[in-house]
Amino acid sequence: GESVGLHLPTLSVQEGDNSIINCAYSNSASDYFIWYKQESGKGPQFIIDIRSNMDKRQGQRVTVLLNKTVKHLSLQIAATQPGDSAVYFCAENTGNQFYFGTGTSLTVIP
Amino acid sequence: DAGVIQSPRHEVTEMGQEVTLRCKPISGHDYLFWYRQTMMRGLELLIYFNNNVPIDDSGMPEDRFSAKMPNASFSTLKIQPSEPRDSAVYFCASSFGGPAYEQYFGPGTRLTVT
């Protein structure tokens, strides 16, 4: 029979535009969140993190927003570059428990 | 620092054979994790260790899978006997201070079981 894989959300953006990747988390007690980037053929790499006592954190070209009311996390990438093409995972952490989302595939169009 | 080191990078084996994957965590990290990634199931946590002691192995699929960490700088994941459905990329990761802190991933081992 036909195999069915994970249906990764996909996002295509033009080089130079801003990207917004979204993540819904499940546990209202989660207190720490991490975004990872996984390029083809490599392991996930840490991008940025945020604790639940914050609603925004900025890094270099990246910003993470946390909305605890609706349990939503987003990653904003400014001036998206071809090197940003990858799968992006959010991870939620509750005490010593942690969960990875299924990921979003970002493709940057030159 | 060289980061997390995994070997081999690629492994092709026949069904029924024993497979051993190896990992060297980042020096000083006290947590080590084994993950499996497939298109069907995404990234799955198999087991993790704290100070060489297995803490949570609830993700280990079945008795054919076993993991050991004899010392702070080395861990193995063994599959015996291997089956075609074990084909996946296996990642090792390490962290310092807790399982919910930033994890540093290795490059992965791509396993193909024919």
Instruction: Give the contacts of B25 (CB within 8 A, at least 6 positions apart).
Output: B4, B32, B72, B73, B75, B92, B94
CA–CA dist A38, A8 (Å, integer): 13
Helix (H) or strand (E) holding A36: strand A32-38
User: What's the token pair of residue B107?
Assistant: 């490059």
More confident residue, B49 or A4: B49
Distance between B1 CA and the closest CA of chain A, angstroms? 15
Q: For chain A, give percent helix, strand, coil, nearest 5.
A: 5, 55, 45
Cβ under 8 Å to B: A residues 37-96: 41-46, 49, 89, 93-96
pLDDT band at residue A2 using 50, 70 and 90 as cut-offs: very low
CA–CA dist B63, B70 (Å, integer): 19
Out of B42, B91, B103, closest to residue A6 by CB: B42
In chain B, % of residues over pLDDT 90: 83
DSSP line for B44-91:
EEEEEEETTEEEE-TT--STTEEEEEEETTEEEEEESS--GGG-EEEE
- Rounded (10°) CA dihedral A21, A70, B100, B77: -60
In this prediction, residue A5 carries a pLDDT of 57
Helix (H) or strand (E) holding A68: none
B12-26 pLDDT tens trace:
999 999 999 999 999
| Closest A-chain CA to B106 | A43
In this prediction, residue A3 carries a pLDDT of 43
User: What's the token pair of residue A15?
Assistant: 């080089």
Cβ-based contacts of B42 with chain A (< 8 Å):
6, 100, 102-103
Contact A88, A104 (CB under 8 A): yes
Q: How many CB pairs under 8 A join A and B?
A: 47
Asked if B41's CB is within 8 angstroms of A46's CB, the reply is: no
Q: Assess whether pLDDT exceeds 90 at residue B28.
A: yes
A27-64 pLDDT tens trace:
889 999 999 999 999 999 999 999 999 999 999 999 99
B36-53 pLDDT tens trace:
999 888 888 999 999 999
A64-106 pLDDT tens trace:
999 999 999 999 999 999 999 999 999 998 877 788 888 999 9
| Closest A-chain CA to B10 | A41
In this prediction, residue A101 carries a pLDDT of 85
